[in-house]
Structure 1
């Protein structure tokens, strides 16, 4: 991904949405394909296994769509005027995103946590996020005096993300075995589409001259900011889950599902929500930073949880 950003900064013309590679169309098709495969890969049996733990579900979903956005509002009020508007919006966009599925489940498994509960909550979070994230962003944008065509954004998300997801789920009985045999290929395709969207977004921003207007220290500030955000959420989810008397497996699932934000969903959704926006590269930057940090920090945390459970 860093290579994609570097290429976009050095040679942006080739990768713009309407450039010679036609990445606008390619990434749109890629996003729909990825969400179709996500739907086909989601096991209903796994969801059923984790459905009964309502306290865990309420905790994770409220953390994702209530606590995180409230923290985002505080951050926006604190940094508004000090950072470019697109970066400020990107910080709130990060806070409005759903949890990530793959790494939440993987970290929960590594930490000897409640894996069925993690699968259920991470999956539910992504489904809810197709409506909740645009709504939260629409509210935030409108309070700043701007306008986001929310109806069109939700329709685009429904057509490009939700519809392929549902079709994939319907066709799962015929595709499940093939998907199980080709997990590495599916994973590479998923990451490849995300990298292409990041590359195209940064190409568009560079071609529009966006990066010439801002000092690089601002990026360092955003990196530190999302690091503080991750630390606050990890500490908060850990403390609250223990205060609520969660078992250790439930605590592991609550911490990892409640603290994570999905790059795989966030980048494609940003492409739809902020379609044609030259500052898309800035908007997704906090998500990219947070993604890298959460993987590093949570992998260490998962090993510590595993040691406690041993």
Structure 2
């Protein structure tokens, strides 16, 4: 039992925080009132800045084709594909459509994408490079892409209430929450590099705990309506599994089209397909939570799906790499 919990503690944690949110939803109010989650998110990106090896990431700057392809896929193509598929699948369920678009417009993950790439014996510096660039450019792309896509959806679906996003305000919020702590971490890195290396595993666990807190906060905020979903939740899981398969296939195809080697293909396929729940939460909580309380649920489900599926994808790449080395 102990071995199982050590290996799968994150998935057990997701079940625990979800159950706790249903049992004591009032705790979510405390988390929000005292800005506990905001502080945790700030620390997460500060740790990201402290942990990133700037030299190894900058060595990938010459991969212009990878830069262009990853940015285009993660921040433009995937949101468009998701918007189309979600509209076709969910019909008049506006919360799920908007929630799907929000998670699709988010940048790639930081910790899990790199961990999965390492597990796949992929190109880790390239994975970090994709991570840094996508998160940086997302500060501009998120408000623009969301404004455009939701404006188009509003016209197509005839929303009862018009959606207007304050693009400049979103850009400032994301910059203060994501960019500032990351830059601070990079500035402090030369003096704290050795200390950070010692606590690398602890920092990874902390980042995952912040994700668990995000899940708790989102579920506790939506507990009144999540219970009424019933089979709709099963359908949402089915859609997100299908969507992630489509996205993985898309990015694998792109990596082959631009002729990446196998380690780089693993990094591109896995990391460009993963979406961060942290920034999705910031957008949802700041601009959608009141009108669309269920719009965070698709992001949570996609996060669960990508964590499970990409474990198997990474193992597949790892076995292919082992066969090549053995041959």
Same fold (TM over 0.5): yes
| 1:291 matches 2:303 | yes
Aligned alpha-carbon RMSD (Å):
2.2
CA distance in structure 2 between the partners assigned to 1:34 and 1:107 by the alignment:
18
Scaled by the length of structure 1, what TM-score is found?
0.88
Counterpart for residue 302 of structure 1: 314
CA distance in structure 1 between the partners assigned to 2:151 and 2:28 by the alignment:
31
1:267 to 241, 259, 281: 281
| 1:32 matches 2:42 | yes
CA distance in structure 1 between the partners assigned to 2:241 and 2:136 by the alignment:
26
CA distance in structure 2 between the partners assigned to 1:278 and 1:175 by the alignment:
43
Scaled by the length of structure 2, what TM-score is found?
0.84
1:42 to 36, 52, 71: 52
Q: How does 1:46-65 map to 2 (within 5 A)?
A: 46-65=56-75
User: Over residues 69-117 of structure 1, what are the superposed CA-to-partner deviations in whole Å (9 max), with x where a residue is unaligned?
Assistant: 120221243135342x222111111211111122222222222222221
Counterpart for residue 149 of structure 2: 140
Q: How does 1:35-114 map to 2 (within 5 A)?
A: 35-83=45-93, 85-114=94-123
CA distance in structure 2 between the partners assigned to 1:165 and 1:186 by the alignment:
14
Bigger Cα displacement from structure 2, 37-46 vs 235-244: 235-244
CA distance in structure 2 between the partners assigned to 1:304 and 1:211 by the alignment:
35
CA distance in structure 1 between the partners assigned to 2:122 and 2:63 by the alignment:
13
Equivalenced residues, count? 301
Counterpart for residue 172 of structure 1: 189
Alpha carbons of 1:297 and 1:177: their partners in 2 closer, same or farther (altered >3 Å)? same
Counterpart for residue 199 of structure 1: 216
- Per the TM alignment, residue 268 of structure 1 is displaced from its structure 2 partner at its CA by 4.0
The answer to whether the 8 A contact 1:190-1:264 is kept is no
CA distance in structure 1 between the partners assigned to 2:21 and 2:253 by the alignment:
42
Counterpart for residue 10 of structure 1: 23
Gaps spanning 5+ residues in structure 2: where? 1-13, 155-161, 323-327
